[in-house]
Amino acid sequence: MKHADAVFDALGDPTRRAVLALVGRRGPLTASELAGHLPVTRQAVMKHLDTLRAAGLVTSERDGRAVRYALRSAPLDDAAAWMASVGDAWDRRLADLSRRARTWKR
């Protein structure tokens, strides 16, 4: 669960979500390219990329003098599966509560 914590922490920031969305839509991008699409500096983008990389959400690869960042979807899939399992558990609990309430009213 510790890895999931890092994913949810990383996704908790709107700028990091924007960075991740751009990388996912436009393919491998440099920090400078990302900063050109966001209202933050290149240095701020780098800090966000470091957090996303630590959570396993992006990878980096050197391309000459530039470093390009690409999306890793597996951690997102894992987080979505966890949320779905929690949602399923709540759905079962609420359905059981609803059945009990209907039985009680009779």
Does residue 3 have a pLDDT over 90? no
**pLDDT tens digits, residue range 40-75?**
999 999 999 999 999 999 999 999 999 999 999 988
Which domains occur in the chain, in start order?
A: 2-105 (1.10.10.10)
Residue 45, burial from CB neighbour count under 10 angstroms (0-12, 13-18, 19+):
buried
pTM of the predicted model as reported, rounded to 2 decimal places: 0.78
- Position 87 scores a pLDDT of 84
pLDDT interval class at 91 (50, 70, 90): confident
Provide CB contacts within 8 A for 59, sequence distance 6+. 53, 69, 70, 72
- Position 1 scores a pLDDT of 53
| Tokens matching residue 73 | 């979807």
Provide CB contacts within 8 A for 46, sequence distance 6+. 31
